[in-house]
């Protein structure tokens, strides 16, 4: 997964990701409930999603909160360290 996904989620703003549906970036955006995914190379769909978010500040606020919370829970240093420690213990 591109490292910028974690940074963008941590920013606390929604992500509009034009990425392959089966990739890890799309999975992270979906799992976070912090943005929207759409197929690459579809400028009309991209414009549509941006307009929808622009017109719906309540949804933007919800996506923003979800993105930030997901980043804290999954990508913060302490969380990552705990997961690595659990993994090593399980081995």
The encoded tokens of residue 77 equal: 């240093």
Sign, CA dihedral 11-72-60-33, equals: positive
* Angle between helical axes of 57-75 and 43-54 (0-180°, round to 10): 100
pLDDT tens column, 48-63: 999 999 999 999 999 9
pLDDT tens column, 4-31: 888 899 999 999 999 999 999 999 999 9
% of the chain with per-residue pLDDT over 90: 68
Is pLDDT of 3 > 80? no
Give residue 60's pLDDT.
97
In 3-state terms, what secondary structure has residue 42? Answer: coil
Is pLDDT of 1 > 70? no
Domain ranges of the chain: 4-90
């Amino acid at each position: 997964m591109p490292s910028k996904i974690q940074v963008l989620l941590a920013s606390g703003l929604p992500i509009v990701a034009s990425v392959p549906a089966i990739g890890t970036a799309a999975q992270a955006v979906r799992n976070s409930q912090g943005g929207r995914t759409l197929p690459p190379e579809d400028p009309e769909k991209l414009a549509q999603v941006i307009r929808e978010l622009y017109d719906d500040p309540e949804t933007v606020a919800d996506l923003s909160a979800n993105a930030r919370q997901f980043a804290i829970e999954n990508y913060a240093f302490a969380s990552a360290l705990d997961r690595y420690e659990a993994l090593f213990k399980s081995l």
